[in-house]
Each structure stands twice: as C-alpha cells, then as structure tokens.
Amino acid sequence: MKYLLLICAEESVEVSPEQADPEPWIEETERRGVRLDGHRLCPVGDATTVRAGLVTQGPFAETKEQIAGFDIIECADLDEAIEIASKHPVASFGAIEVRPFWPE
Amino acid sequence: MSDADVTRVVEEAFREEWGRVVATLIRLTGDWDLAEECAQDAFAQALARWPRDGVPRRPGAWLTTAARNRALDRFRRHTTEAARLRALASAPTGPDPEPAEEDHVPDDRLRLMFTCCHPALPLEAQVALTLRTLAGLTTAEIAAAFMVPEATMAQRLVRAKRKIRNAGIPYRVPPARLLAERTAGVLGVLYVLFTEGYSASGGPSPTRPELAAEAIRLARVLAGLMPGEPEAQGLLALMLLQDSRRAARLDEAGDIVTLESQNRAKWDHDEIEEGLRLLDDALARRRPGPYQVQAAIAACHATALDPDDTDWPQIAGLYGELVRLAPSAVVELNRAVAVAMADGPLAGLRLVEELRAAGELAGHHLLAATRADLLRRLDRTAEAAQAYEEALALAPTDAERRYLARRLAETNGT
C-alpha cells in the first residue's frame, strides 16, 4: 500500500538542528525500501493558491500548522506506515498525516 | 425436535457462533460485507435445514462451512475473482460439513476484535463495528442502542469498513511491540459498551441490560482468547461484579437505588462468585492494571454484608492506586467519595473542592451531586441545596433527575 506522509509543523516552532535532522530517518526508510520519494518544502510564504481560477498568495488554509514536507512510502499495512511516521523527527514536535493513496 | 426448538437452537447458535463465522469469512475473503452476507445466509440455511436434517454435531463448523460455500458460489459467478477463489478453495476449513478436527484452526475472532478496535478508527465506529461483526446486532439495533437514526449508524459502519480497506488497517493480532497498547484499546471499547448498557448516557431508561449482556459475552470471549492477559480477566470480573447489582439498582418506578440502600439479597451471587474467582486468578499473576483495580473495588462492595461492613479505607487505597495507573478527574472524584466514607465528609469535600478549583469536570452533574451530598452530611444545608440544584440542571437522565429532586426536597425539608 502506498501512503503520503504530510509532514506538518508550525513554522515558528524552534527546534535544534539535531532534533529536526531527517537524515537518520531517510537512511532507515531507504534501507528498508519503504520510501519512494519525498522532499522538504519552502515556507508557506512562498506558496501560491489557485482557487476557482483566482490566484492568491499563501497556503490553501490559514492554520497554525503547515505542510513542511512530504514523503511517499510503500508499506505492508497501516501499522507499518504508522511506525514509519512515528519515527520521523517532526513527529516529536509537529504532526504527520498518514494518507493512503486512492486504491487503483 | 419441534420447529420452535430448532428456532431456539439456531438463535443460540447465532449468539455463540456469529462472530466466529464472520471473523473466519473475513480472513478467507478479505471482504467484510461479503462475510456478513454469507454468514447471514448460513444462518438462514440452518433455519431451513436443521428442522429436516437435525441439528449438526458441531453447529459452528457447519455454519462456517455453509458460509464459506456461499462465498465460493459468489466468487464462481464472478470468474475475474479467480485468484481469491483459489485461495478460498484451498483454505484450511475443509469441505466436509462435519470436520473431524477443528481445534487447531485458529480462532479468528481475536484478529477481528483488534481490527474493529484499531486506533485509526473513531471510537464510536469501533463500538459499532464490534457490535455488528462480533455480536451480530443489526444496524437498526445498534442505532437504537445509541439513539442515532438508523441511516446515521449505517453510514458510520460503511465509512469504517471503507477506511479499513482503503487505509490498509491489517486483519491480525498485533505483533508484540504493539500488543499492550492495542489490547488496552480493545478492553476500552468493551468497557464503553458495558457502561453504556449499565448506566446509559441519555434517554428515558437509565440502563440497557441487553448492551451490558453483549459486553459481558464479548469480554468472556476475549478473556478466553487471551488467557495470558490478566487485564482481560480483570475486565470480565469488573463487569460481572457490577452487573451482579443490576436487579437491585432500580426500584419499581425505575429510579436509581444507591449502593447503600440496595437490597443485597437481590444481588446476583453467581455473578459475584465468578467475578471474585476471575479476579483472584488475575491478581495472582502480579501484573496489576486499571481493570483489575476497579474489579477489586467492586469486589469490596460485593463482599460487604451490609453498607456498614464496607471496607472504605481499602477502597480509598485502591482508588489511590487507580489514580496512579489511569489518572482521570472522574477517578479522583470517586476517590474523594471513598475518602469521605473512610475519613469523614470533610476530608472528601477537600478533595472535591480541589477538583472544582482545577476546573476539571466543570459542567458534570456528578461533581455537583457529590459535593451536594458531602455538604448535606456536614449539615451545610443551604450550600447543599444550591449544589443539588446545580446537579439537577446538569443530570442527563430522567432517573438521575428524579433522584436529585428527591434529595433536594429532603434537604430543603430539614
């Protein structure tokens, strides 16, 4: 099963570079062959939203937590996806939404 | 055997075997709706055939085989399902309607319980799914039990099953690293079910005994399937000890009778005995948990000959332990009541006032009702009356309102 991990955090939250370092997580998930793709994203100030043909600056929803990155993983089931998500460094100070891909 | 007897046997088989048949069919087909349909079909076949052919020696095995054959028929008609058909045909239940050996076939109800109670599902969906797939209640019955329209409940079940499929919630007993946490989830769902039956959260009747009975039945299954888990036994013991008071808890008018005023001869002593035995067994493993502690508290009440014989210092101590194991404001409130009984109303009131100052349980009628009771016992009548009025405004059921109104009248009268 494929899942999209939405890595969400408050942009103002301050964490040490070690705490936010995703490298060990990326290493483990790639070694296990579950991570297909992923990237950190620019802050929401750089986002543009197109809604009903109208172009506005900023994110699609004004919330405290914003999407800071994403990963696409392929796992046996939701329990494995949850395990992978809970090991992501942002899970300790932000939130990770685990969203299954639409079934083919 | 008369038709009426056969109907009774099928009804009994339904209660005993429904969950097992559905659980096995989900494992074999991977399709929850199909599993329910085939199980329903198997019970309909039993009603038609058992009067003619006699009741099979192993009704459960007969029903599982009938349901499985029904699924095979369905797949045969859709040849695109070839792979699933092959898996199903070779699955280890055997085509013989009276398999000689079934004891080594794993009981699928445990994996069904864990999947129904997966934390990725909303709690109300966990409860509804458990009642539908394990206990065999109809959507209409579950909707009535939780006082929501049937369409709402049907949608809740559809959404839950869709999420299980789409999100890839596994159909299995969780691995060791997840087992403790997930077991707590299953126990929690069964206890929600029991308390909803024992003390309904709303509506005209303060209890719904049929829900409590289902919860006990399921807890018994779980304790049997997890013999190494003392908390499963603790939960069953707790339910039995609380349920033993059912006949004494309401008077003829349907009003609540408090523990101290209950006619103890009306308590169910078989349930008490079984509960105590289970609790002793569980405690002997020396792995205490919140359900064992709550059962131990219920046991203190169940073994007291009369209200004055109650070991309140022991109960207060057990609540202290419960606060440590499973901290919550409601547990703190119960501890305050026990402390009031052990050390006097003033000691209890101090704890209640602490809770009140912390803003915990604001708007909860039990906080106001407990405070009112303690103030009344301290002869602080005016404050007590005011607290009873506050509780009366917040109480969710008619029976509780009648009880509080009576107490308020008594307080104003003295």
pLDDT at B77: 80
Contact at CB, B168 and A75, closer than 8 angstroms: yes
- A86 — contact with chain B (CB < 8 Å)? no
What is the total count of domains within chain A? 1
Q: What is the pLDDT of residues B12-31, one digit of tens each?
A: 999 899 999 999 999 999 99
Tokens of A24: 């060990």
B166:A75 CB<8 A: no
The closest CB to that of B166, out of A76, A82, A100, belongs to: A100
Neighbours of B178 (CB within 10 A): 16
Is the per-residue pLDDT at B205 higher than 80? no
Say yes or no to pLDDT of B363 above 90: no
pLDDT in tens, B289-304: 999 999 999 999 999 9
What is the reported pLDDT for B109? 94
pLDDT winner (highest mean) among B91-100, B232-241, B243-252, B364-373 = B232-241
Decide: helix, strand or coil at residue A52. coil
Distance CA B103, CA B352 (A): 53
ipTM: 0.89
pLDDT for the residue B399: 81
Lowest mean pLDDT among B72-76, B237-241, B373-377: B72-76
Phi, psi of B244 (to 5 degrees): -60, -20
CATH of the domain at A84: 3.30.70.1060
**Does residue B224 surpass a pLDDT of 50?**
yes
Chain B contacts of A79, Cβ < 8 Å?
A: 169-170, 174, 178
Chain B: residue whose CA lies nearest to A98: B167
- Bridge partners, A97 (sequence order): A6
Q: State the smallest CA–CA distance between residue B164 and chain A in angstroms.
A: 9
Q: How far is CA B285 from CA B236, B282, B314, B320, in A?
A: 16, 6, 21, 21
Provide mean pLDDT across the span B233-256. 92
Per the prediction, chain B carries an average pLDDT of 90
pLDDT score, position B268: 96
Q: Which domain holds residue A49?
A: 2-100
Among A9-13, B40-44, B325-329, B382-386, whose mean pLDDT is lowest? A9-13
Q: Find all residues with CB under 8 Å of B65, minimum gap 6, and list them.
A: B93, B94, B95, B96, B97, B99
Taking only the tens place, the pLDDT of each residue in B68-106 is 999 999 888 876 666 666 677 766 554 444 444 444 456
pLDDT along chain A (104 residues), means of 10: 96 87 95 95 91 89 91 96 96 96 89
**Interface A:B, Cβ pairs < 8 A:** 27
User: pTM here?
Assistant: 0.85
B168 and A82 in contact by Cβ < 8 A?
no
Q: Does A50 touch chain B (CB under 8 A)?
A: no
Work out the percent of chain B whose per-residue pLDDT is above 70: 92
- Residue whose pair of structure tokens reads 């005016």 in the numeric block: B382
Query: Which residues of B fall within a CB distance of 8 Å from A1?
Result: 168
